Amino acid sequence: MKLAIVILNWNGSKLLKEYLPKVVEYSKDASIFVIDNASTDDSLEVLTSSFPEIQVISNKENLGFAGGYNEGLKRIEADVFCLLNSDVEVTQNWTVSIINAFQANQEIAIAQPKILDLKNREYFEYAGAGGGFIDKLGYPFCRGRIFQCLEKDTGQYDDITEVFWATGACMFIKKEVFADLKGFDASYFAHQEEIDLCWRAKNRGYKVYYIGKSHIYHLGGSTLKNSNPNKTFLNFRNSLYSITKNLPRKNAFELIFKRLLLDGIAVIHFAAQFKFLHSFAILRAHLSFYRNFSRVFKKREKANFVLNYYFVKSIVWSHFVHQVKNFNILVKD
């Protein structure tokens, strides 16, 4: 399989200097590309002077994560794309197990490796951890990460298994699948677009896998930190987008109503912690969603909607009421 490792960059000169050398060193079996989202720092100069072996694709404007990849990947030929964040430290032979899995199991359309925390290497990292799932209400969580609770990596997820979504921090996807899905939904701009992509893939019968024999280290928060209200806005709004697009009409409307109530509780929760900007961000997310509802609803595809998409009915209830902090303790509904 011809593999292309593709890194999206926007004003990430420092990250390129820090993490690209190991990508080059440990990825001899792949072509490496950087898609630049109209950076205004010295990213292009750094790439030209320090990494002449890397091919650069320049977008004319900052199209965000979704739009940036959609535009740049049109110009890359490969059997499999690896969409890799610029703040990732790769390891020796990190692509081997994943490409072997693609070749051994033709059902695999999308995959991710184990994602560990660069700052605390014995623990899983928030964005992807040991493979992603969602609950019935559309809230995402991972093996190795439930809300802010991160598990220590003791080898408990060194397996190969089907999951619901793969992280955009390091996503391997067949080019033909990315094309069939028409890429990411650019209206998401950033955050949870990979969940929507995987959900649409599942509705079309594609399989998403986690390959625990491969691991990388992710810095995380390089674009928007968890403390940034804009991240809260995008996560809450985009989650509502995904529910609207990927479930039968009746199910989608029921969940949107339930989310209105639960997200209202989240507003109160943030306010009680004096995080008023996050409370306001959730309100903005809902207003933005309702304002764009008609446009989002029209994106619904004629597909066989998967109704057994969720792992548990409510990860909120499991975590905050029953105090479940580890994935392995969850009882599948």
In this structure, is residue 320 part of a structural domain?
A: yes
In this structure, is residue 56 part of a structural domain?
A: no
3-state secondary structure the chain: CCEEEEEEECCCHHHHHHHHHHHHHCCCCEEEEEEEECCCCCHHHHHHHHCCCCEEEEECCCCHHHHHHHHHHCCCCCCEEEEECCCEECCCCCCHHHHHHHHHCCCEEEEEEEEEECCCCCEECCCCCCCEEECCCCCEEECCEECCEECECCCCCCCEEECCECCCCEEEEEHHHHHHCCCCCHHHCCCCHHHHHHHHHHHCCCEEEEEEEEEEEECCCCCCCCCCHHHHHHHHHHHHHHHHHHCCHHHHHHHHHHHHHHHHHHHHHHHHCCCHHHHHHHHHHHHHHHHCHHHHHCCCCCCCCCCCCCCCCCHHHHHHHCCCCCHHHCCCC
Domain span at residue 241 reads 229-329
State the pTM of this model: 0.95
In this structure, is residue 196 part of a structural domain?
A: no
Query: Given this model, what pLDDT does residue 224 score?
Result: 55
Confidence of residue 303 (pLDDT cuts 50, 70, 90): confident
Q: What is the mean pLDDT of residues 131-146?
A: 97
Q: What is the mean pLDDT of residues 236-253?
A: 96
**Residue 292 vs residues 38, 70, 231, 285: alpha-carbon distances, Å:** 27, 21, 19, 11
Confidence of residue 225 (pLDDT cuts 50, 70, 90): low
Q: In this structure, which amino acid lies at residue 4? A: A
Q: What is the mean pLDDT of residues 242-261?
A: 96
Query: Given this model, what pLDDT does residue 226 score?
Result: 63
**Number of domains comprising the chain:** 1
Q: Per-residue pLDDT for 141 more than 90?
A: yes
Q: Environment class of residue 295 by beta-carbon count within 10 Å: exposed (0-12), middle (13-18) or buried (19+)?
A: exposed
In this structure, is residue 76 part of a structural domain?
A: no
* Total length of the chain: 333
In this structure, is residue 139 part of a structural domain?
A: no
Confidence of residue 302 (pLDDT cuts 50, 70, 90): confident
Angle between helices 13-25 and 43-50 (to 10 degrees): 30
Instruction: Indicate the average pLDDT of the chain.
Output: 95
Q: Per-residue pLDDT for 178 more than 90?
A: yes
What radius of gyration, in Å, describes the C-alpha atoms of the chain? 19
Q: Per-residue pLDDT for 222 more than 70?
A: no
The distance from CA 35 to its chain's CA centroid, rounded to whole angstroms, is 17
